[in-house]
Amino acid sequence: MLCAMSPSGIYAPFVPRLCPDRTPFTPDGIPFVPGSGPCSATILFGQAIFIHHCYMDETSIRVSVFFSVLLIMAVAETVAPRRSLSIGRARWSANLSIVIMDVLIVRLLLPGGAIAAALWADTHGLGLFNWLTWLNSVEIIAAVILLDLVIYGQHVLFHAVPLLWRLHMVHHADRDIDVTTGLRFHPIEIILSMLIKMIVVVLLGAPALAVFIFEIVLNGMAMFNHSNVRLPKNLDYLLRLLIITPDVHRVHHSVIKAETNSNFGFYLSIWDRLFSTYRAQPKLGHTDMTIGLEHLQSAPTYKLGFMLRLPFSGEIGQYPMFKSQEGRHE
């Protein structure tokens, strides 16, 4: 049975807006592929991973992918580290604790999240893709790409506006960068990010499957491109033509303002290139660059209490792109 999370947070039967004829399943749960019709084998495969069938549901898939990527990248950066860490895994307890808080708070305040928003928009016929008659496969691909563009724009916004930077600097305050840095965000930023995503999903009329795929890819890529792993130079060169690699995103975590305010992408690298925010390498090189924020190099940035209090502490440093009266006083 196809399933998605309802706005109440309970998993309810659901057939994604993929096939107008609502493709049937065989008795053993395998999607039946008719000889002709609007659904391709690729889309049916996509349906197959978006199901509440036997042992899997949405949460199970998310958790499985999360821990798989976390484990793989943790092992990879141990075997082939890109740079030495100043604090190391002493930061992990706080970084992992804050992501647990984030998940619990979002589940409590916004149960269903962006997928619930996609289902609601589909039910009410709202949003761009609900008004178009494109192939479902095209809609899904387009929605994933557009959602990535929105995340890029949101990231720039959180660097530009001093009030939003207060929240986002919790992420940048980490004085090392590894797989757990990609999970380190203040709960208020996570709530705002989810609200933005839900609004955009409704405006786009993004298919629920596209939102599901995007969220899994975004989460996995955040851990990948924050990891302290050394990729072969030729592989990094090829990958960064399409996606954000660890070397690309590490530049973004430099204490140098011009580097902090560059390389905003999380998944696709095209947006930084298109909007002239791409910076290929850090000025001091990956091994000699300083990670974090200049004004917090002596602060206990590895402690959970400090992370939660940081947005309200007063000092935001030199980093916001939009100057403000607040920024000038500091």
CB within 8 Å of 124: residues ≥ 6 apart: none
Phi-psi region of 5 (alpha: psi -120 to 50; beta: other; left: phi over 0): beta
Domain boundaries, the chain: 59-329
* Spatial distance between the Cα atoms of 212 and 204, rounded to a whole number of angstroms: 15
Least confident of 17-31, 116-130, 213-227: 17-31
The token pair that represents 54 in the structure block? 């036997």
> Looking at the predicted structure, is the pLDDT value of residue 216 above 80?
yes
pLDDT digits (tens, 9 = 90+) for 8-49: 333 333 333 333 333 444 444 444 443 334 444 444 444 444
pTM score, whole prediction:
0.82
For residues 270-275, give the mean pLDDT: 98
For residues 38-61, give the mean pLDDT: 53
Q: Tell me how long the chain is.
A: 330
